[in-house]
Amino acid sequence: MKPPTDTLAAPAAEATDNPVAGIDQTKGDFSYNVAYAFDAGTGLSEDTVRYISSVKKEAPWILEFRLKALKKFLSMPMPTHWATKDLENINFDKIRYYLSQGQKPKRTWDEVPDDIKRTFERLGIPEQERKFLAGVEAQFDSEAAYSNIKEVVAKQGVIFVNSTEGLREHPELFKKFFAKVIPTGDNKFSALNSAVFSGGSFIYVPKGVKVAQPLQAYFRINAENFGQFERTLIIADEGAEVTYMEGCTAPKFSTSTLHSAVVELVALKGAKIQYITVQNWANNVFNLVTKRGIAHEEAEIKWIDCNIGSRLTMKYPGVVLKGRKARGEVISIALANDGQHQDTGAKMVHAADETTSNIVAKSISVGQGRSTYRGVVHIPKHLKGCKNNTECDALLINSHSRTDTYPAITVRGDRNFVQHEASVSKVNEEMIFYMQQRGLTEGQAMSLAVNGFINDLARQFPMEYSVELKRLIDLEMEGSVG
């Protein structure tokens, strides 16, 4: 808990040949020296948790919540009985758990300190905000440096702040839903997040309000050996509609970085929440995220989850279908390149009659990259008229890559309908030769094959994101040609 030191990596070269912001790893691979005013030091203890809570000037119940979570985290084993042993390579004593320049985000880019502002400018965030977003939150390490919502949206009563502000300014609303969708002890990493969480978004959309443009959060890791633990809570009141998009990048450090978020969504009666992630972590990042939503009667929650980059991603967005006729959907795209493991999937828990869920997961494994799909679909016996459709398709590019599928579907009773399809295909040499014979380079050919494979899913993205996704795949594939 010492005063800040300025010991970060020297700024990387400014030169970059890709003008599209925030999405490809080369673009994100830079860091500037930043003077942190608040630093919880290295390693995790009760003191770390107390420090975080005190700089945030939190209510006592939150500190208590955090300390309980810490105990939980320390008592829970690593889930290596089913998950990869690579998790054991995370050294929790070497991680820095809180770094910030202050707890209050700025409302205009002009007020954001220059050393942080230039990072987001380089990632193109202010420009995207002007073009097509209803609101933006830009988190730099532990806290949001910038957070703003367009006046017209704010006037409708929409709240869009970071979690620190949310807890301070809307405690009643926050407390009512916080940790209700994902309990602290859901898994080891949700417990860790609950102990040291900082940043993330708090969104409330009032009854009947439909936010036309997306709200966007951008999560940026700047410091080495850092852990980012944002906590996001989105509540769509009855009949409300909102689309939230998040993007993430980090510079490439030789040591590992941890990103462990918890995201909870609550869609009340007839509400619709669409949550879109395009993550593009550098390949030293452990990305262990818990995401779940509760859909009440006739509500709809849709996760569009696109995982590119990171060393290891474990993420299974889920929907608890709590009310009659609720709908849940997970669209998942994962690309595992050399040295990466994308362990992703979906969870659908049916808890009311006539609920429907849809899972479409596509993974691409390149080189030594490894993709794993894990799915859970649960329909208990007493329910009727429930439907689930699961499709998981894997694409392998060259013989070293690996893909595994672990679907777990429990359907009791005979009044429900479930459908599961899985496929594994290969981009074969003949297909690549065919495209090369038309004048495409090997890299262009592979990238076109991959884009074709995910085409039906990419079309569901907002245009700006699908263009970025395509560009990112182009880059990944260009780089994978030996």
Partner 1 sequence: MSSLVIKDLHVAIGDKKIVQGLSLTINGGEVHAIMGPNGTGKSTLSKAIAGHPDYTITSGDVLLDGRSILDREADERARAGLFLAFQYPSEIPGVSIANFLRAAVQARLAEGEEIDATAYYKRLYSKMDLLKIDRKFTSRAVNDGFSGGEKKRCEILQMAMLEPKFALMDETDSGLDIDALRIVADGVNTLRGPNLGVLMITHYQRLLNYIVPDHVHVMWDGRIVKSGDKSLALELEAKGYDWVKKELAATATAAAATAATVA
Residue from 88, 110, 172, 429 touching partner 1 (CB under 8 A): that is: 429
Among 7, 254, 430, 482, binds partner 1 (CB under 8 A): 430
Minimum Å gap between C-beta 237 and partner 1 is: 38
Provide CB contacts within 8 A for 313, sequence distance 6+: 279, 281, 287, 288, 289, 307, 334, 340, 341, 342, 343, 344
CB-nearer residue toward partner 1: 93 or 429: 429
Listed ranges 38-46, 207-215, 428-436, 460-468: which one lies at the site for partner 1 (CB under 8 A): 428-436
Q: Does 377 bind partner 1 (CB under 8 A)?
A: no
C-alpha of 389 from chain center: 23
Q: DSSP secondary-structure letter at 192?
A: H
Decide: is 70 part of the binding site for partner 1 (CB under 8 A): no
Taking the complex as a whole, how short is the minimal distance between the CB of residue 17 and partner 1, in angstroms?
A: 11
Q: Does 17 bind partner 1 (CB under 8 A)?
A: no
What mask of x and - would describe binding to partner 1 in positions 388 to 427, judged by CB under 8 A?
A: ----------------------------------------
DSSP character string of 86-152: GGGG--GGG-B--EES-SS-BSSGGGS-HHHHHHHHHHTHHHHHHHH-SEEEEEETTEEEEEEE-HH
Rounded to a whole number of angstroms, the minimum distance from the CB of residue 446 to partner 1 is 11
**Distance from C-alpha of 355 to C-alpha of 98, rounded to nearest angstrom:** 41
Tell me the sheet residues that pair with 205: 236
Please name which of 392, 428, 429 lies closest in space to residue 408, comparing C-alpha atoms.
392
Q: How far apart are CA 445 and CA 359, in angstroms?
A: 28
d(CA 235, CA 203): 6
- Could you say whether residue 18 binds partner 1 (CB under 8 A)? no
Q: How many residues sit in the footprint of partner 1 (CB under 8 A)?
A: 23
209 vs 446 by CB, closer to partner 1? 446
Q: What is the contact mask toward partner 1 in residues 450 to 479, using x (rule: CB under 8 A)?
A: -xxxxxx-----------------------
Asked if 3 is part of the footprint of partner 1 (rule: CB under 8 A), the reply reads no
449 binds partner 1 (CB under 8 A): yes
β-strand pairing of 356-366 with 327-336: parallel
7 or 437: CB nearest partner 1: 437
The CA distance from 405 to 375, in Å, is 8
Q: Which of 92, 406, 417, 434 binds partner 1 (CB under 8 A)?
A: 434
Please state the separation of Cα 380 from the chain's center in Å.
Answer: 29
Tell the residue number behind the tokens 């809180």, with chain if given. 98
Beta strands (DSSP E) in 164-284 are 201-205, 215-220, 227-228, 231-236, 241-249, 257-259, 262-267, 272-281
Q: Which stretch binds partner 1 (CB under 8 A): 279-287, 290-298, 313-321, 448-456?
A: 448-456
The answer to whether residue 16 forms part of the interface with partner 1 (CB under 8 A) is: no
74 binds partner 1 (CB under 8 A): no
Comparing C-alpha atoms, which of 372, 363, 310 is closest to residue 339?
310
Choose, by CB under 8 A, the member of 60, 85, 438, 463 that binds partner 1.
438
User: Distance between CA atoms of 234 and 240, rounded to whole angstroms?
Assistant: 11
Is residue 14 within the footprint of partner 1 (CB under 8 A)?
no
- Among positions 440, 462, 464, 479, the unique one binding partner 1 when judged by CB under 8 A: 440
Going through 356-475 in order, the beta strands assigned E by DSSP cover 356-366, 370-379, 387-397, 402-411, 417-426
**Is 255 a residue that touches partner 1 (CB under 8 A)?**
no
Q: Which is nearer to partner 1, 156 or 441 (CB)?
A: 441
Report the interface residues with partner 1, using CB under 8 A: 429-431, 433-442, 444-445, 448-449, 451-456
